Amino acid sequence: MPSRPQAKGLRARGRPWLPHPPGRTIRLRLTLAYWLLFIVSAAALLALVVGLWRGMSKTVESRVRAPSAATGVPNPGSVTSRQRHVDLQQLLVTSAEALAIMAIPAVGVGWLLAGRYLRPLRTITAAAREISATNLHERLNLAGPPDELKQLGDTFDSLLTRLERSFEAERQFAANAAHELRTPHTTMRVWLDVAMAKPDPLPPHVLNLYARLRDELDHTDRLLDDLLTLAQSQRAPIEDASALSLADLASEALKRRSSDIAEKNLHIETTLTTTAEVTGSAALLAHLVGNLLDNAIKHNQPGGWIHLSTTVEDSHARLTVENGGPLLDQSDVERLAHPFQRLGADRTGSHNSTGLGLSIVHAIATAHQGALQLAARPDGGLRASIELPHAPSALPAAAP
């Protein structure tokens, strides 16, 4: 597998000012621990000063009151015991006031220190929340001394490396298997055509068998194409990104499927916003729109309807495809984004569908930092919506 440069996208998204969950966080507990340590240390230092003051005062007092060796008369000295008591009280009051004043900024300093030392943990937490199969190539690359937090970050990067290799091996296996199966598949098709090309008339059961085999081979062709597309769509990052209009992609997909739409006599309604622009692979996004439209056509009722719309909502562009049809259960609809999932008797075992259409849509949307939303309509049919980051004129335009 070719090596990829270690990106810093995960680290960049691990902002130290991310909101913290409510409750007693470890940062709050560390702040309280720092503050209590400061108070206890300051109180111990004050007690030590008072103890030393009293010891020194007793020594001075004993020397002052000691009788003179020449006269035998006690020397009153210049410092009285009462004055020393007043000075001690003043020292205690002043020290207590200073301790109370310093206790306030000590909380803030403890909070900042705790946040500074916990910043790598927040970076790792944010990365773990955003990690997916499409950005396993990114790394934290935590800087700093080789302490426990740096070792934790390096361990997380090693885990991402192993996951990336595992996902890449799985995708590569699917692509290689689909590619290698094409050779025997094509050979079988050629042999079948050669056998049927004989000038002698063939029995009806042989012609029936030929039709069945060709139907199965066509279905296998579609399955291999979908497997290759699924493996390609799961690769990240997108290298051939360009600026694209969802409205143009939808219009082009409708033109290419005009015969299928006419065959079922479907009524098409469009509400296309030209400002719904995104950046990504032209081939993959065209496949995404085409699969959504194919799904709406295949699993629709004769004489039914399809509604396509593109909108811009905040920082996202949205493509929505709605179609009529039988009533569906929402719990079953949510499974359609997984490979080889079908609903209803007309979907199960159908040779017109490989069961990979919506799973490919989901993979392509995820690779483009988007999302697929599926919902069963109350009056029957399906509503499929794709949400992608809106990027108007971000890159040079490319034809679908």
| Chain segment 146-180, per-residue pLDDT in tens | 777 788 888 888 888 888 787 777 677 766 776 77
Question: What is 11-75 written as a DSSP string?
Answer: HHH--TTPPPPSS--HHHHHHHHHHHHHHHHHHHHHHHHHHHHHHHHHHHHHHHHSBPTTT-PBP
Region 76-97 average pLDDT: 68
The reported pLDDT for the residue numbered 334 is 78
CA dihedral sign, ordered 86, 87, 90, 92: negative
Region 217-232 average pLDDT: 71
More confident residue, 279 or 85: 279
Side-chain-facing half-sphere of 206: CA atoms under 13 Å: 10
User: Please, which residues bridge with residue 324 across strands?
Assistant: none
Tokens 């039914």 label which residue? 304
* Extents of the domains making up the chain: 241-389
Among 281, 279, 280, 283, residue whose Cα is nearest residue 291: 283
Region 354-381 average pLDDT: 84
Residue 305 has pLDDT above 80, yes or no: yes
- The per-residue pLDDT of the chain, averaged, comes to 75
The reported pLDDT for the residue numbered 3 is 42
Residue 308 has pLDDT above 90, yes or no: yes
Radius of gyration of the chain (CA): 38
Q: What percent of the chain stands above pLDDT 70?
A: 73
Region 191-200 average pLDDT: 78
CA dihedral sign, ordered 62, 64, 68, 73: negative
User: Please, which residues bridge with residue 322 across strands?
Assistant: 307, 383
More confident residue, 337 or 397: 337
The reported pLDDT for the residue numbered 5 is 42
Residue 385 has pLDDT above 90, yes or no: yes
| pTM exceeding 0.75 | no
The reported pLDDT for the residue numbered 346 is 44
Q: How confident is the model at residue 233 (pLDDT cuts 50, 70, 90)?
A: low
Superfamily classification of domain 241-389: Histidine kinase-like ATPase, C-terminal domain (3.30.565.10)
Comparing 121-130, 170-179, 194-203, 362-371, the range with the smallest average pLDDT is: 170-179
| Most confident option among 20-29, 157-166, 335-344 | 157-166
More confident residue, 68 or 233: 233
Q: How confident is the model at residue 265 (pLDDT cuts 50, 70, 90)?
A: very high
Provide the CA 274 distance to its chain's centre, in angstroms. 28
Among 268, 242, 168, 258, residue whose Cα is nearest residue 391: 242
